[in-house]
Amino acid sequence: MKGTYHMLVVTGATGHLGRLVIEALLTTVPADQVAAVARDEEKAQPLAQRGVEVRVGDYDRPDTLGGAFRAGDRVLFVSGSEVGRRVPQHEAVVAEARRAGVALLAYTSILGGPAADFTLAREHQATERMILDSGLPYTFLRNGWYHENYTENLAPVLEHGAVVGSAGQGRVASASRADYAAAAAAVLTGEGHEGRAYELSGDVAWSYAEYAAEVARQSGREIVYSEVPPEQHVAILTGAGLPEPLARVLVDVDAAIGRGLLAGTTGELAALIGRPTTPLADAVAEGIAAAKAA
């Protein structure tokens, strides 16, 4: 297989999603066919010790990206995590991928792509356009919501007995981060994905009230969904320490959920990974265990 491309490359390789993609790849291909791009070389040393090639690349420092990609590489471009800064960061990555002549640039975009009308989608839409304009072979992995967006920090929910939100009766077709990672690995190692845009989401859409009920069932505590007006939601998030611009982005996402924009159950994620997506209940169990261990 290595004769058809240079390496399988994952950017953001020490982040939450990137490291799971590397793990998924290592279950199917030898480590010497995998390269990890990370801004902190020391943080990536555990990967190097397993035989993965480590390449340094910082989205914020285009001069560091010169060695990130090589001709013929198949690259998973994991989007930057800093909302509001991603357009220049992503421009630098796409420019370097084009200069290097990669064989495929698979980008982690957002569910709905051009049809997503909420603030968080704008940088992803701009990135899709720049990739199309680059002329590079591409795949868009339009990821829906992760279970872990909700379940990774269950301590406040358990403490206050409430899931707080402003999404009304809107539903979320989330899946586990590992599900999305498995899909990315399948695209990097498979054939026939060029020029495709996959709308990736979980098999089951749930409401915040149903999520609260699941947390209550598993924790044995009374947990309710507390619906609040958007401005009060912003105040709650900023009071918990979030910067106001980020709080407003998250509240805007809840409004999008209320409009049904993250509820689509396309089946495309399950098809790519060859199994049903991970149930929300599994992530809730992990989240409760982590909260108790903290």
Query: Which distant-in-sequence residues (6+ apart) come within 8 Å of 220 by Cβ?
Result: none
Structure tokens that stand for 171 in this block:
């539903």
What local confidence, expressed as pLDDT, does residue 228 receive?
97
The pLDDT tens digits for 164-191 are 999 999 999 999 999 999 999 999 999 9
What SS3 class is residue 47? helix
Q: Which residue positions in the chain have pLDDT lower than 50?
A: 1-3
What local confidence, expressed as pLDDT, does residue 85 receive?
83
* Rg of the chain over all Cα atoms, to the nearest angstrom: 19
Torsion over CA: 246, 91, 122, 196 (sign): negative
Tell me the C-alpha distance between 162 and 225, whole Å.
6
Q: Is residue 171 within 8 Å of residue 257, measured between CB atoms? A: yes
Q: Is residue 258 within 8 Å of residue 251, measured between CB atoms? A: no
Q: Is residue 90 within 8 Å of residue 25, measured between CB atoms? A: no
What local confidence, expressed as pLDDT, does residue 6 receive?
79
The domains of the chain, with CATH numbers, are 2-143 (3.40.50.720), 145-176+201-263+278-294 (3.90.25.10)
Torsion over CA: 218, 219, 224, 227 (sign): negative
Q: Which residues pair with 287 in a beta bridge?
A: none
Residue 192 gets the label, from left (phi > 0), alpha (psi -120 to 50) or beta, of left
Q: Is residue 272 within 8 Å of residue 180, measured between CB atoms? A: no
Q: Which residues pair with 10 in a beta bridge?
A: 36, 76
Structure tokens that stand for 197 in this block:
């845009």
What SS3 class is residue 224? strand
**DSSP 8-class letter at 6:** S
What local confidence, expressed as pLDDT, does residue 83 receive?
81
Q: Is residue 73 within 8 Å of residue 5, measured between CB atoms? A: yes
Structure tokens that stand for 91 in this block:
């421009």
What local confidence, expressed as pLDDT, does residue 5 receive?
58
| Listed residue (145, 141, 218, 216) closest to 176, CA to CA | 145
Structure tokens that stand for 94 in this block:
């796409």
What local confidence, expressed as pLDDT, does residue 2 receive?
43
Tell me the C-alpha distance between 207 and 126, whole Å.
30
Tell me the C-alpha distance between 291 and 116, whole Å.
33
Tell me the C-alpha distance between 113 and 90, whole Å.
16
